[in-house]
Structure 1
Amino acid sequence: MAVHGKKAPHPFLSSVIDSDEYLEVYCQPCNIKGERLPAHGFCTDCNEHLCGTCFKLHMKHKLSRNHTLLDKENMPKRMHAPTSSSVHLHQSDELTKACLKHQKEMIKFYCHDHKELLCSVCVTLQHSATLCKVDYIPDISVDITDSKYYNDILRNLDRVTDLCQKISEDTRKRTAKSEKSLTDAVADIRKFRKEINQRLDELESQTEDAARALQEEIRINLKTVERNCEDTATSLKTTTDFIKRLNATGQADRLFMELKMTEQMIEEYEKKVQQVTSYDLEEYAFQANDELSAFLKNDMALGTFSKKTANKPNVSSSDHVRTRQANRQTEIGVKTSGDKEMCRISGMAVFTPDLLIITDNLNEAVKLIDVRGQCVIHQINVNGKPCNITAISSTEFAVTLPFRKSIQFISASSSRLSMKTALKVNGECYGISCYKGRLVVSFCNPAKLQILDVNGTVLSDFTGENIFSNPVYVVACRDFIYVSDWNKGTITRLNWQGDVSGIYDVMDGPYGITLANKGTLFACDYSKGVIEEVSDDCSKGNILMSDLKRLETTCWCEETNELYFSNFTSDAEYDNFLQVYKLS
């Protein structure tokens, strides 16, 4: 029987010798495995005799089913004997490594196409002569000793070994450098603590000096009173004695004149006595600095650790890609003649595209800013240190006063601000945002988030250390509330029921946040000095601006595509100015 195909001869027996010497026919594939079985057929494509089992498999296997096969009656009755230059029909003594796929078979072949070491089963099932260039290992290993390939492999081994040693040494050096940086950081902590102690000592000394100055003033005033009283008493006693003497001696004329003069003198002395008795001797009590008291109550760290540079060699130090271009427009000076302190812009809200309202924490003021005219139009004192501000309507705003535990409502026009009612709350309120008449307020002491109506009724109360530790700023929109938490280093997204649905946790010191268009928000990182654009689901963020000084808060104007932000550095060059950037 014959089945026609178009496949090439099997490579292992393709080099049959032109010899007149013939052998008894046997199955050549089985002979490779050390078994000599009688042949029951012949494949003209593979040029091999096959036993009954191999003959049947040859017809079934998809790689050989189209080969031309001759049955026992039509197959060649004799086969050529191999010579020393032909295929090795014996197994080398060195071929003793088991195949990883077929543990009972030894590796004997190499596939050049797949660069794999193979056993005979691998060759039969996956690397047939029609698909791959396969060689019997003893045939191709004759000249391997001291060959170029052998030397190349050794050089590559040496190269990788040297690389491993270099990486190991570099790792040891970088580990030592990292450990030293932390040791230095601990030293900086102690230095910082020492500076704090020194500053507190100075403040204590200044306060004690003020107390001593008050004491000295009181002593001087009391001595003056005592001296005046003693002088008056002495003068009155002398006059009394003189009048009595005139009366005793019967000098009526002189007595009359003296009594009239004494009568006038008594009126003057009564006035002096009234002045003395009206002297108000005050009692004093110590009133702690509000900011220092808040600092002591606040559960915040002494500082944070930030990475100086990436430790991995040949890797970019930035994991973020800027998606917008920020171009600086201008800076607006916000300090006025009525300010006693350096400015601290802790909150901002857009009034109109040309007007901005800010809170100045240190000067206890709310200011109306003309963005185009770059000046302060009007300011009012709110009798407390304001933190954040939000728009309630087109002309009304709400300001948080943490230490007064209240929210102050303010009315605004194009040229003036005015105070309205105040709303008491049950904690030190910091961040505030309003959406459709609902106020979202963050509290740092204790840490919580509340939703209130404009009358002060608490609609929802979200507390728990697992959610917040030190929530400072909030922004709200239709579906979500975003909260920046200083201690946790996170921006958290919650729905209006308080369920957390996203956390952005790659910031060191998140502070002011503002909602932008395109479903993102801008966030200030006080510690890193960068502004990040964070996705609305808080899954990723891109650095928008970097190399900035201690960022406090930020505000976005959608109509003009302008981003405002402030710094709090204790340096007038930065703190007294509002920064304006145009985004594209």
Structure 2
Amino acid sequence: MAVPGKKVHKTFSSPSTMGSDEDHQVYCQPCDRDGPRLPAHGYCKDCREHLCDTCVAAHKKHTLSRHHTLLDKNSMPEIISSASIHPCQLDNFTKPCPRHIKEMIKFYCQNHKALLCSVCVTLEHTGTSCNVNYIPNISDKVINSKELQDILKAMNTINEQCHKKSEDVMKIIAKSNSSLTYVLSDIKKFRKEINQRLDELERHAEDAANAILQENNKNLKTVQTTFNDVTKSLKTSSDAIEHLNTSKEADKLYMELKYAERMIKDYETRVHHLEAYDVKKYTFKPNKAISTLLNNLRSVGTFTENSLKQQSPPPAVDLKSRQTSQEGKICVETSKDKDICRIIGMTLLTPDLLIITDCNNDAVKMVDTCSQSVTAQLKLDTWPQDVSSVTRTECSVTLPGKQNILFISVSSNKLKKKQTLKVDGDCYGISCCQGKLVLSFYDPAKLQILDTNGTVLTTVRGENIFSRPGYVTTNTNSIYVSDWEMQTITRLNWQGEVIGSYGGMTRPRGITLSDDGTVFVCDRKRNDIEEIAGDCSTGKVVLRDLNEPFAVCRCAETSKLYFSCHTWKDKHDNKLQVFKLS
């Protein structure tokens, strides 16, 4: 039986299928979704829904809809557009609200960019400033929308970034693992060095103990021989006395007794002397310094960390174009030389005073750049390698053969030896800056930073960093090292951390800094001199077609570049080349 005021449920029809009067009846759409179908007595233009009397009243009271535009029964549209059919379909909300588990998300706040349930809307988004939309009313706009395309594009970009970062992390971890392989090798090598030194000390102690043991055995043999001789002699004399006494041969007995009396005194002296032997008992007392060291040790060494984190590369430095012109040549051969010159180190103390090392003639020479002549020469008892200015009147020279640094005073065209500094290896390159010395070593390959007293402040080593570090140059910010075997220029900070590297060389040798922070390097194999940016990002050749350039020095005040050649031909090696680079 029909209930008064209610209609029997029917399937909603589109306008194209409406035919009967009942079909033209417009029903309340909210009620149509949840319960009995009721005739519509109003229409909301904002929600695009027909409403019954009850829904109209509720619509006017609810915070979200009280400002909507409502049409009465006479003004409302009688035919439902296709756009209004969508809200009449059953809700398909399946995502629960994370804050109100029993409620489904049905709304979206445009102001707060938040998905909401009914409870969220009622409690937190009721203000007039919140533009809250019912999702079915706005969802049809997202299909094939620009927003959809942008989000998919952003997701794809992030996915590609994740893939690339994953590959980068794998490479970094591989480098880290590789460095740890070197660490393990260095630990074993260090342990081997410790073992060899301890074995050497042990052999010395054993040799000392064996020497004492041999001395004791020698003394024991002497004592035993003496006692045996005394005992044997006394027995022979005693038997003779008894025999002569029995046979009553008085004359012979008298003489034998006198011999025995003298023998007794002699033997008493010998026995007393043997008793005076100071034979000692020995115990072993470990070296206190070694014991203390072992007790205080907490590790065999420490790890030096260098970040492998991928960073944005520094901006490429635009090396300015330089005008180059040859200024001439300076002959550095003197009458004291016994061999062809081989200039392998040079430094400027002043614009007109150049100090060079000649390893073939075991000499340090002073060159006047104005007169272009050698004005002083200091003969050494070993060959010098590199040289660096300490002050305007002092320089330091490396002597690899003696593992020393020699300090030389410079005054009035005279070079004079001062003190020497012992180092722990065959030192080659040297540079002095900020009261510190930076030295390079070949075997083992390493770099050391020392104070002027010889105290080692920092040591940098590692097969992945250095192989044959030859020359160094420094400023207040950086240390640059040329490694001819690795074919690199390595940049470090004063903490010994690698902060840059340039690999565009074939046989880098001498190295010097320009006043603008760029680096000039001799490439002996390629017969050129290259200028490298201070951050080691770029480089370019400034002088080419040279004769195996070796050592180099730059004067900021005159813009002149001095360099030597190493060809084993006197016409090249006995002269310094002078170029102006501006």
TM-score using structure 1 length: 0.45
* Larger gyration radius, structure 1 or structure 2: 2
TM-score using structure 2 length: 0.45
